[in-house]
Amino acid sequence: MWYTEFAAATTLLVGAGLWTSGALQRMRRVPKPQGLPGRGLPLPDAAFLAGGPVRAAEVVIVRMQQEGRLIVSRDGLATVTDPQPKDPAEVVLIEAAGPNRQRELALLQRAVMRSPEIQQIGDRLAERGLMRRPELYRAVVRARRLLQFSLLVTVVLGVLTTVLWATLPTPDRDASTPPFFAFFGLLLLGVVWLTATKPGRSRVTPAGLRQLSLMKTGSSPWRPAVGASAATALLLGAVALDGVETLEDEDLRSALKDRVRSAAGGSSDGVGYGAAFGADAGAAVAWCSSSSPDSGSGGSHGGSHGSSCGSSSGCGSSSGHSGGSSGHSCSSSHSCSSGHSGCSSSSCSSGSSCGSGCGS
């Protein structure tokens, strides 16, 4: 009889389905629900939400350039004229410029986007339910692959048992139930389960998309509270939400688009930076969240994290930022969804491990 095969297929499919549903629930769980912040989202957070670490680093560069504290030449060489930072991200940039306070813009931007100070913005947004954590997304993908495998097993067992049932003598076949209908019903259940557990492909959650919509719509353009002039604040808000294409400074726009984006391995146009978690590496998805969803954003001040960037290489350096202290350890318990360079060229701020991840 075919009941043994049907029981095995049912056990495998239901187990895979429950595992997938649990993984999806963990990915969607919001550790610290606070509601949408409306138009009061801080500038770095808004830039990260709209364009990822690449956009957040661009905002840091544009702000310093607009305030006259950073000069960018036409050939992409950046010079820091004011070594006094206003926030932790600027500390990273100034230290990355080295003792001569001069370095290629692409290298400065890469150091900023890979720093824990920028990377942990994504963790903070994920805690509020505005973004999805890469490692939890990958867990859903793995679970759905097992569910797909269970569907294949169901089809194979269904075909085999139906063929065997059809070869039975007529009296025995007429006295038993055809296995086709049972396996077909199980297959339909699996297909429905697979459809219902689609995680989506964007790192920005529906709540995050609503947040971006709140900031992009309204009677007046969004202006972040950055302690700058109204014109500078409006410019920074436009760059954060829409990218460097909004810059009127052609030299700076060209340097950021052509040099920095090529170093990052792609572009960050709108929320499309997170359009894919794995295969679409060209989208410059450069956020590796911390290994624990409940770790919180407090890890940016001396806490270590368990994930690193690069699918084939982990943290190859234990040195700090240029001019910073060395000896910080780098862990590699998770790999980043984008398979570009590892942490070997990234840097760790004093007292922090680079385990929170690097960009593509």
Other Cβ atoms less than 10 A from the Cβ of 351: the count is 15
Identify the three-state secondary structure at position 103: strand
Other Cβ atoms less than 10 A from the Cβ of 293: the count is 18
Q: Where are the alpha helices (DSSP H) in the chain?
A: 3-28, 43-66, 88-96, 105-114, 116-127, 134-166, 170-175, 179-196, 206-216, 230-242, 250-254, 261-264
pLDDT, position 9: 95
pLDDT, position 172: 65
What are the structure tokens assigned to 253, written together?
């726009």
Tell me the torsion sign for CA atoms 33, 36, 39, 43. Answer: positive
Quick check: 303 pLDDT over 60? no
For 172-201, write each residue's pLDDT tens digit: 666 677 888 999 999 999 999 999 999 888
Element (H, E) at 321: none
Question: Higher pLDDT residue, 336 or 103?
Answer: 103
Strands 102-104 vs 77-80: parallel, antiparallel or unpaired = antiparallel
For 141-174, write each residue's pLDDT tens digit: 999 999 999 999 999 999 999 988 888 887 766 6
Quick check: 6 pLDDT over 50? yes
The CA distance from 97 to 91, in Å, is 10
The CA distance from 356 to 115, in Å, is 8
The CA distance from 220 to 226, in Å, is 17
Query: Lowest-confidence range among 184-193, 259-268, 295-304?
Result: 295-304
pLDDT, position 184: 95
What are the structure tokens assigned to 125, written together?
């947004």
The CA distance from 330 to 126, in Å, is 23
What residues contact residue 100 under an 8 Å CB cut-off, 6+ apart?
A: none
pLDDT, position 174: 60
The Cβ-side half-sphere exposure at 59, using a 13 Å CA radius, reads 32
DSSP assignment of 258-296? IIIHHHHTS---GGGGGS-SSS-GGG-------S-TTS-
For 50-88, write each residue's pLDDT tens digit: 988 999 999 999 999 988 899 988 888 889 998 888 888
Per the prediction, the chain carries an average pLDDT of 75
Identify the three-state secondary structure at position 68: coil
CB 259 within 8 A of CB 76: yes
What are the structure tokens assigned to 78, written together?
């950046």
Nearest Cα to 259, choosing from 71, 58, 59? 58
Residue with tokens 């692409």: 106
Residue 189's Cβ-count burial label (10 Å; 0-12, 13-18, 19+) is middle
pLDDT, position 289: 61
Quick check: 268 pLDDT over 50? no
pLDDT, position 22: 96
pLDDT, position 313: 32
pLDDT, position 261: 53
- Sort residue 296 into left (φ over 0), alpha (ψ -120 to 50) or beta: left
What residues contact residue 250 under an 8 Å CB cut-off, 6+ apart?
A: none
Query: Lowest-confidence range among 125-139, 196-210, 272-286?
Result: 272-286
Quick check: 348 pLDDT over 90? no
Quick check: 354 pLDDT over 80? no
